[in-house]
Every structure is written in structure tokens, then in C-alpha cells.
Amino acid sequence: MSENLLEIDPIAGQGEIMEISMGPHHPSTHGVFRMDVRLEGEQVVRLKPVFGYLHRNHEKIAEHGAYLSAIPYTDRLDYLCSMTNNWGYVLAVEKLAGLAVPERAEYIRVIVAELTRFQNHAGLVGFLLQDMGASGTPLMYAFREREKVLDLFESLSGARMMCNYMRFGGVRVDCTAAWLDDVRRLLPALPKFVDEFENLLRSNEILMARTQGTGVLSRELAINAGVTGPMLRAAGVNYDIRKVDNYGIYDRFDFRIPLGDHGDVYDRYMMRILEMRETVKILEQALRDIPEGPIMDPKVRLRGLRPKAGEAYGRIESPKGELGFFLISDGSTNPYRYRVRPPSMINLTILEDMCLGQNIADVVVTLGSVDIVLGEVDR
Amino acid sequence: MLGEGILQGLMETARNFFGSYIEKDRLTTVQYPEERFELPEASRNFPFLLYDGTDPDAGLRCVSCQICEKECPPRCIHIEKSKDKKPDFVGKQQFYPAVFDIDVSVCMSCQICVEVCPFDAIRMDKVFELSTGDRFGGLLWDKHELSKSNEYYRQIHPVEAAETDERRTKEKADAQAKAIAAAAAAAAKAAAAAAAPPSDASSNGAAHPNPSKPVTQ
């Protein structure tokens, strides 16, 4: 430890360097995540993220089970967004096995995925403000809205968070007309919540002082490090897989991609707020256009699916970034190789670059703005 | 002006606070053990086994095919097949589970057992207040703890249960019609074998309402 420290600290003698282990049970780390932080006074001179505390062997478990039995495990990757996780996985299997998805199922997928995006962003801004010390109020407002979305998920799929809803070739159960009406009824409340939230804190002087210029991520570094999702767009890069890949039926919807230009915590915070507004637009269009029809490809065999030997990569824009599933099939009932590309882990790798030279209190805020879920980071 | 943004935010919290005295839908929580939200029909928690009629042993629908045991992602189901057989709802002789255990501390409520069951024998329950001091025995449910009647299923999932019942009634009617047809065909064959005039046998068969599905025995 000592020889390293001398290299880092050319102005030795000014103060002592202190090593702090933040986490794995620190309330600001959003789960079991540890940061080895070296401080000079209050300034960060080195930060080493340590993960793996929540490792559950997800990939190997999926390789030892049938294609169907991996779907409930994907719920537990990013446990706040089970619907989008399901989608990423079933998209990969559909590519691998060459399955078609009926129209109605595509619309249902878009609706549940966008609701997921909304509730994830609502929760994230609540947690981010909680990290900054806005204790309770914003988080409770965010959770009140999130609860409404989770109630919809429960009445559709049976579970609030571990939905296990999508299947390769469609979705598990059809949504009733009453459920669609419930979503339509909820829709006007969502922009109202965003307005309320913006009113609450957008021009708050303390928030601006804490977030503007904090945790700046440059455009170049964001691209080179493979950062995706709202973090990349906050750095000013126009890259959204919904537009780039047009997976599912996203090319039918009219929506915009919000972009930031400073790449600081404030931009990332606003990015979530603006994306919530765009999400509502997509929901409105999807609810207007949803057709009647089947929800499953009739040819698909859920049990004992044997895709031809080959490989496929399915990726979607999850609320946190590019969520990809890579599958290799050897023609048997379980995947030969199964790999997850988790957005929150890759977004986390540049945490040190964003935190160097900042105060220790800003590390907490910067980490909060990355939007990590440890279930996905550690898998 | 410095502090304007903070005041604006405080106005918002004040609106929420005082609004909660006027608008009831601003109150989003309930006093849990006394008041409860009603669970939606689709809500699921842990699996249970269904039986028809009143006797859980005689009416148990499970035929011990062990598909759910194989497909369960966390492998929380343990089944041992019986040596003898008992008649199922259409009267066909089937195996039954001598042992059927579910470890609900392992179960992850994914519902895949329900999806793959071809006999409508396993369904998801809605009970969630299951805390127990006995973490091993108390959470390992055997066949008797798991068995619930079809009436109970109709109560907790009315729409789904009606659909299942309708399908099963039809299956039973089909099976009975098939059995009658088979019996008639057998009788006709017997009559033919008894060297009766062939016209007799054909008229016997034609008299039956459903002669299209004769089953050779």
C-alpha cells in the first residue's frame, strides 16, 4: 500500500492519505458494492470499485437449464426492471431460433417496457436525491408513482417485480381490455408527476450546487469506455438502441432522444426526467394503435426448445443502457454459452475517472447518478 | 433570488401535505394488518396442488408425470411416483404422487410449473403471510399441506378456474362419449363374433349417437 501512495501523492507532507472502505454495507452504495477510496483531506485521489458481493452464478445456472427456465432468472438481474430483462433475453432466443412475434405481443412488450422505463427513472431520481440528503420526500413521491406502475404489472403478470412475463415468440398472458383501460387512466398522471417533481427540485439552489460540474464524464471517455444509456446521452452522444436497432416495433413510434452537453450529474438527472416525458409519448401511441390478435407464435415450443446450432446477440435499450444477451446453441435444449452484457456494470467501470479530484461527498452523488443495480453488476 | 427554488419546492410539499386532508386519493397507503388492498386475480405467490371433490387423496389431479420437477428452475419440487394406480377424473388408471414436496424457501414463484403442467394439477396460491419460526420443516410443504380444493381455486382465481373447469368438463364428456362408443363397438363386435347376421351389427353401431370414434379394445 505504502509505495503506491507515494507515487500518487507528489505533494506529500500536505496531509495524510487516508484509505476508506465505503461499503459493502454503506447506504449510499445502492446494494452490496464497495469502493476503496483514498483521500487526501476530503479529495479523492484514488477510487477502486470492488464488486462481486451479489454474485449468484446467473450465467452458469442459465447454461444448465432449459431456454425457458432462464427467463425467471433474468428477472433477478436488474430487479427493478424485470420486463426489459425478459425482453432482452427473449429477443436473443428469438434471433437464435428464428421465431416471429405476433403484432399484439410486440405492442404489449413496448407498453410494459416503457412503463418499466418510467418506474425505473422515477425510482432513480428519488434515490439520487436521497443520496444528496433530500431525505425522504422526493423518494416517497417517486415511489408513490412507481407503485401505480407496479400494481399494473401485478394485475397483468401476477408479480410486482419478478414478472416473468415474456416468452420467446410472444408474451405469457394476454392483457385484458380492462388492463389497457387502467394504463390509459394512469397515463395522464405520469406527466403530472414529472411536473410536480420538476417543480419540487429543478431550480433548487442546493441541488444545482451539488450536481452541476460534479462527476463530469467527457464525450470521448464515454464512447471509449462503452458507456451506454442515459449516461452516454447526458455526455452528448446521440445513441439509443431503440433508434439505432429499431428492435421490436420502435420504428413506428414518434419520440425524441434527449441529449445533454455537460455530462455532469445534473445532466444525467435531467436526462431521466426528460426520458420519462418521452416514455409517456410512446405509451400514448402504443395504446392508441394496439391491435387485437394472438399473443404467441403458434409454432413455438416453450418446453424443450432446440434452436439450431449457432449464435445470436439480442440487445435492447434497457432503462440503464444497452442490455445484451449473447447465446451460443449447440442444438441441445440448453444454451452452450450464455452471456449477459449488463449496462450498469460497464457504466460503473469509469467511476474512478469521474470521481478523481472531487470531494468524498460527491462520490456518493456521482455513484447515484450512474444508476446501478447490483443484481445486474454482479449477476 | 437565491432561495426561490427552495421555496418553490416547499410549496409543492405543502400542497401535498394539506391536499391529503382534502383529496382522498393523495393518501396512498393503508394501515396494513387492519386494512388490506385486495390482490388482483393474476397475483401469484406459491404453488399448490388441486384436487376435485372433497377427498384430497382420491381427487388429487397430479398424475406424477414429473414434468414440473424437471422444469422447475430452482428445482424446489420433489416427487416420488406411486407403485399402484388410481382412477383420474375421467376414470383412467393413473399413477399418483406418493411423495410431493415443495420447498417454498427455494421456490421463486415463477409459475413455470403451472405453465408446463398438462393435467391442470398445480396452480399458484395468493397467500403471503407465511412467516414461521421453523425454517426447515415449516417451509417444506408436503402433499397434504399443498392440497387445496377446486372450490378454493375458484375463489382465488375465478376467471382462470372457470376456464379450466370448462375445459375439463368437455374433456370428461368427450372421454365418456368415447367410452360409450367403445363399449358399443365392443358389443357390436361381440355380436358379430356370435355369428349374428351382419346387418344387425351395423344397425347396432348406427343407433349410437357418436359412432365416428370407435375404439378397438
Tell whether ipTM is more than 0.90.
no
Instruction: Give the distance, in angstroms, between the CA of residue B12 and the centroid of all CA atoms in the same chain.
Output: 48
Distance CA A37, CA A49 (A): 9
Q: Identify the domain boundary among B138, B156, B174.
A: B156
Q: Are residues B98 and B147 in the same domain?
A: yes
Q: Identify the domain boundary among B139, B156, B173.
A: B156
Q: Are residues A272 and A350 in the same domain?
A: yes
Query: In this structure, what CATH number is given to the domain that contains residue A168?
Result: 1.10.645.10
Q: Are residues A374 and A347 in the same domain?
A: yes
**Nearest-by-Cβ selection for A199 from B8, B67, B115:** B8
Which residues of A lie closer than 8 Å to B, measured between beta carbons?
A: 61, 65-66, 68-73, 75-76, 137, 141, 144, 147, 151, 154-159, 162, 164, 172-173, 196, 199-208, 302-303
pLDDT digits (tens, 9 = 90+) for A278-308: 999 999 999 988 888 888 887 888 888 888 8
What separation in angstroms does the CA of A238 have from each of A121, A171, A260, A344, B207? 19, 31, 9, 19, 77
Q: Are residues A334 and A266 in the same domain?
A: yes
Q: Are residues A72 and A148 in the same domain?
A: yes
- Determine, for residues B109 and A207 on separate chains, whether the beta-carbon distance falls below 8 Å: no
- Determine, for residues B3 and A159 on separate chains, whether the beta-carbon distance falls below 8 Å: no
- Determine, for residues A66 and B71 on separate chains, whether the beta-carbon distance falls below 8 Å: yes
Q: Are residues B187 and B144 in the same domain?
A: no
Q: Are residues A62 and A46 in the same domain?
A: no
Residue B1 pLDDT: 66
Q: Which residues of chain A have pLDDT under 50?
A: 1-3, 5-6
Q: Are residues B149 and B57 in the same domain?
A: yes
B13 inside domain: no
Distance CA A151, CA A146 (A): 9
Q: Are residues A9 and A94 in the same domain?
A: no
DSSP code per residue over A35-79:
EEEEEETTEEEEEEEE--TT---HHHHHHHS-TGGGHHHHHTTST
Residue B208 pLDDT: 46
Q: Exposed, middle or buried by CB within 10 Å (0-12, 13-18, 19+), for B178?
A: middle
* Phi-psi category of residue A371: left, alpha or beta, with phi > 0 → left and psi -120 to 50 → alpha: left
Please say if the pLDDT value at position B207 is more than 60.
no
Residue B211 pLDDT: 44
Tell me which of B10, B68, B109, B110 to substitute to probe the interface with A (most A C-beta atoms closer than 10 Å): B110
Q: Are residues B86 and B97 in the same domain?
A: yes
Q: Quick one: what percent of chain B has pLDDT higher than 70?
A: 89
Contacts of A151 in chain B (CB under 8 A): 40
pLDDT digits (tens, 9 = 90+) for B151-193: 888 888 888 888 888 888 888 888 888 888 888 888 888 888 7
Q: Is some CB atom of chain A closer than 8 A to the CB atom of B139?
A: no
- Confidence band for B206, pLDDT divided at 50, 70 and 90: very low
Q: Is some CB atom of chain A closer than 8 A to the CB atom of B9?
A: yes
Distance CA B66, CA A221 (A): 53
Distance CA A106, CA A190 (A): 22
Distance CA B196, CA B183 (A): 18
Distance (Å) from the C-alpha of residue A208 to the closest C-alpha of chain B?
10
Q: Are residues B178 and B130 in the same domain?
A: no
Task: Judge whether A162 and A85 are in contact, CB under 8 Å.
Answer: no
**Nearest-by-Cβ selection for A72 from B4, B16, B112:** B112
* Phi-psi category of residue A373: left, alpha or beta, with phi > 0 → left and psi -120 to 50 → alpha: beta
Contacts of B4 in chain A (CB under 8 A): 203, 205
B33 inside domain: no
B19 inside domain: no
Enumerate residues 163 to 192 of chain B having a beta carbon within 8 A of any beta carbon in chain A.
none
Q: Are residues A13 and A131 in the same domain?
A: no
Take residue A106 and report the three cell numbers written for it. 410486440
**Nearest-by-Cβ selection for A65 from B5, B73, B108:** B73
Give the number of domains in chain B: 2
Q: Are residues A341 and A295 in the same domain?
A: yes
Phi, psi torsion values for A12, nearest 5 degrees? -60, 150
Q: Are residues B80 and B173 in the same domain?
A: no
Give the number of domains in chain A: 2
Q: Is some CB atom of chain A closer than 8 A to the CB atom of B91?
A: no
Residue whose grid cell is 460534479? A214
Distance CA A33, CA B33 (A): 34
Distance CA B167, CA B171 (A): 6
Which residue range forms the structural domain that includes residue A20? 2-50
What separation in angstroms does the CA of B148 have from each of A83, A214, B61? 31, 58, 11
Instruction: Give the distance, in angstroms, between the CA of residue B124 and the centroid of all CA atoms in the same chain.
Output: 7
Residue B200 pLDDT: 47
Tell me which of B12, B70, B77 to substitute to probe the interface with A (most A C-beta atoms closer than 10 Å): B12
Farthest CA pair distance, chain A: 74
CA-wise closest residue to A287 among A138, A196, A152: A152
pLDDT digits (tens, 9 = 90+) for A139-167: 888 888 888 899 999 999 888 888 889 88
pLDDT digits (tens, 9 = 90+) for B97-113: 888 899 988 899 888 89
Cis amide prior to B97 (ω within 30 degrees): no
Contacts of A71 in chain B (CB under 8 A): 110
- Determine, for residues B28 and A147 on separate chains, whether the beta-carbon distance falls below 8 Å: yes
Distance CA A85, CA B207 (A): 60
Contacts of A122 in chain B (CB under 8 A): none
B39 inside domain: no
SS3 B72: coil
Rounded to the nearest 10 degrees, the angle between the axes of helix A177-186 and helix A137-157 is: 170
Query: In this structure, what CATH number is given to the domain that contains residue B109?
Result: 3.30.70.3270
Contacts of B124 in chain A (CB under 8 A): 158
What separation in angstroms does the CA of A313 have from each of A16, A344, B14? 49, 18, 50
Q: Are residues B147 and B105 in the same domain?
A: yes
**C-alpha dihedral sign at A258, A325, A299, A71:** negative
Q: Are residues B111 and B166 in the same domain?
A: no
A vs B, Cβ pairs < 8 A, gives: 81
* pTM, two decimal places: 0.83
Q: Are residues A26 and A68 in the same domain?
A: no
B178 inside domain: yes
Please say if the pLDDT value at position B20 is more than 70.
yes
Residue A4 pLDDT: 52
Give residue A28's identity as a one-letter amino acid code: S
Distance CA A15, CA A21 (A): 19
pLDDT digits (tens, 9 = 90+) for B195-205: 665 554 444 44
Which residue range forms the structural domain that includes residue B163? 157-217
Q: Are residues A22 and A91 in the same domain?
A: no
Per-state percent for chain A, helix, strand, coil, to nearest 5: 50, 15, 35
Q: Are residues B141 and B165 in the same domain?
A: no
Distance (Å) from the C-alpha of residue B9 to the closest C-alpha of chain A?
4
Report strand pairing: B47-51 vs B147-149: parallel
Q: Are residues B132 and B169 in the same domain?
A: no
Q: Are residues B123 and B166 in the same domain?
A: no
Q: Identify the domain boundary among B107, B127, B156.
A: B156
Q: Exposed, middle or buried by CB within 10 Å (0-12, 13-18, 19+), for A3?
A: exposed
Q: Are residues B101 and B194 in the same domain?
A: no
Q: What is the average pLDDT across B60-73? A: 87
